[in-house]
Amino acid sequence: MIILSDTHTHLYDEAFAGETDAVFTRAQHNRVRRFFIPNVDRTTAAPLVELCKTREGVYGMMGVHPCSVKADYKEELAHAEKWLGMFDFVAIGEIGLDLYWDKTFLAEQIDALETQLHWSMDKNLPVAIHCRDAFDPIWEVLSKPEFNAVRGIFHCFSGTEEQARKLTDKGWYLGIGGVLTFRNSGLDKAIASIPLEQLVLETDAPYLAPVPFRGKRNEPSYLLHVAEKLAELKGVSLAEVAEITTRNSEKIFGV
């Protein structure tokens, strides 16, 4: 049986308000049965946990998104750390650096990232890394000896072939989403030589909808289009893509 795993989806987002049942039904119809939900900040933690408690196949991550790291970031970190002691999460995430919108809080973003990497080691949990216009500074942090054991997923990977190889050589997995279906994105070339055993599927819903829904609200059912594109790229069946990427998600998250 084909089972697809969406390793990064914000199902608590207001974009899905009033449609949660329909979104899950469509996902099931397209054989998406496993959903991994990253936290953003203090406003998303409670609805995230509620989904994990009430929906089958939904697993939560806890962390502070880099775009939520501002002057009060230590309060955000304290809030996330409190939740880590209240619920069983499968990963620390999403965490990382984002220099696309604003570089004002780069030092704070780095401090928040390092703090949360320590959480991952203390709790023996994988991480979901958000990286936007920030590969080099993130790689510098991850290359510190104290973080040698940290592993997980580079969510929404959209880097170069060299960066892909750098990561996978160190045991990281690459999260592949709707960008793979975009014409001239270059992602197909970047991961052409990366084996399926080091890739996982994701939507990042409600963002980054794949073709033919590009520009519209994304949702987990659309993961099927990403999986089909990846199967085409690798010259294998949809069933093989589903089997291997779901197995990868089981290895990473332990569920």
Cis ω on the peptide bond leading into residue 240 (within 30° of 0)? no
Q: Which amino acid is at 167?
A: L
Q: What local confidence, expressed as pLDDT, does residue 102 receive?
A: 86
Q: Which amino acid is at 181?
A: T
Q: What local confidence, expressed as pLDDT, does residue 101 receive?
A: 85
Length of the chain: 255
Domains of the chain (ranges, CATH numbers): 4-253 (3.20.20.140)
Q: Please check whether residue 26 is in contact with residue 112, taking contact to mean a CB–CB distance below 8 angstroms.
A: no
The position carrying tokens 């998600």 is 249
Q: Which amino acid is at 169?
A: D
Burial group, residue 79, by CB count within 10 angstroms (0-12, 13-18, 19+):
middle
Q: Which amino acid is at 28?
A: Q
Q: Please check whether residue 249 is in contact with residue 5, taking contact to mean a CB–CB distance below 8 angstroms.
A: yes
Q: Please check whether residue 127 is in contact with residue 90, taking contact to mean a CB–CB distance below 8 angstroms.
A: no
Strands 91-98 and 32-37 turn out to be unpaired
User: What phi-psi label fits residue 171: left (phi over 0), alpha (psi between -120 and 50 degrees) or beta?
Assistant: left
Q: What local confidence, expressed as pLDDT, does residue 222 receive?
A: 98
- Reference 161, options 138, 130, 198, 192; nearest CA is 192
The 3 state secondary structure assigned to the chain is: CCCEEECCCCCCCHHHCCCHHHHHHHHHHCCEEEEEECCCCCCCHHHHHHHHHHCCCEEEEECCCHHHCCCCHHHHHHHHHHHHCCCCCCEEEEEEEECCCCCCCHHHHHHHHHHHHHHHHHHCCCEEEEEECCHHHHHHHHCCHHHCCCCEEECCCCCCHHHHHHHHHCCCEEEECHHHHCCCCCHHHHCCCCCHHHEEECCCCCCCCCCCCCCCCCCHHHHHHHHHHHHHHHCCCHHHHHHHHHHHHHHHHCC
Q: What local confidence, expressed as pLDDT, does residue 175 receive?
A: 98
Q: What local confidence, expressed as pLDDT, does residue 22 receive?
A: 98
Cis ω on the peptide bond leading into residue 212 (within 30° of 0)? yes
Mean pLDDT for each consecutive 10-residue tract of the chain (255 residues)? Answer: 96 96 98 98 98 98 97 97 98 97 94 98 98 97 96 97 97 98 96 98 98 97 98 98 98 98
Output the pTM of the full model: 0.97
* CB atoms near residue 41 (< 10 Å): 17
